Structure 1
Amino acid sequence: MRKYLHIDLQDRSVETEELHGEAIIRVGRHYIAKTLLKRGVATVDPLSPENPLIFSAGPFAGTNFSNANRIYRFVLD
């Protein structure tokens, strides 16, 4: 099980999403792309508050696998 937090700074709310099974394998860049498509941010102004800032750990983060401890981040610009 892996947890992801969705934090909204405007209304100070926090949502927790738990990933299980195959969803854990599809994290990192895949999770970022899926989240961006779900929110429809292709038309969002880069400097607007609706532009998400996403940090996502890869599937091997926390293991001894070589180069596994990268963090992916994305901002629409």
Structure 2
Amino acid sequence: MWRSLRVDLRAGKAYWQEVPPEEVAMGGRYRTARLLLEQEAYRFDPFSPENPLVFAVEPLAGTGFPTPTAPAWAPAAP
């Protein structure tokens, strides 16, 4: 089972969310883009506190597998 941690800084809450295996296989960049679209980040001003910021890792990160496994992060930038 794969999980992601979602943190709501305004509400001061954090919760775990299950992630389907096919989404994990797509990688961190896919996940960041999907989450930003899901939250409709394109509607927010880039400097607004409501603007989401997503951090993710590629599926093979931390395994020692010789591929680019850099973390992905995605803000809605100006």
Shorter-chain TM band:
0.7 to 0.9
Q: Which residue of 2 aligns with 1:15?
A: 15
Match for 1:58: what amino acid? E
Contact 2:33 2:74 (8 Å CA) reproduced: no
RMSD: 1.4
- State the alpha-carbon separation in 2 of the partners of residues 41 and 50 from structure 1: 9
Q: Which residue of 2 aligns with 1:65?
A: 65
Match for 2:5: what amino acid? L
Q: Which residue of 1 aligns with 2:52?
A: 52
Q: Which residue of 1 aligns with 2:2?
A: 2
Distance 1:2 1:40, change over 3 A: same
Alignment of structure 1 residues 26-41 onto 2, 5 Å = 26-41=26-41
Of stretches 52-61 and 18-27 in structure 1, the one that deviates more from structure 2 is 18-27
How many residue pairs get aligned? The number is 77
Structure-1-length-normalised TM-score = 0.86
Distance 1:62 1:39, change over 3 A: same
Q: Runs of 5+ in structure 2 lacking a partner?
A: none
Contact 2:32 2:54 (8 Å CA) reproduced: yes
Structure 1 residue 50, shift from structure 2 partner = 1.0
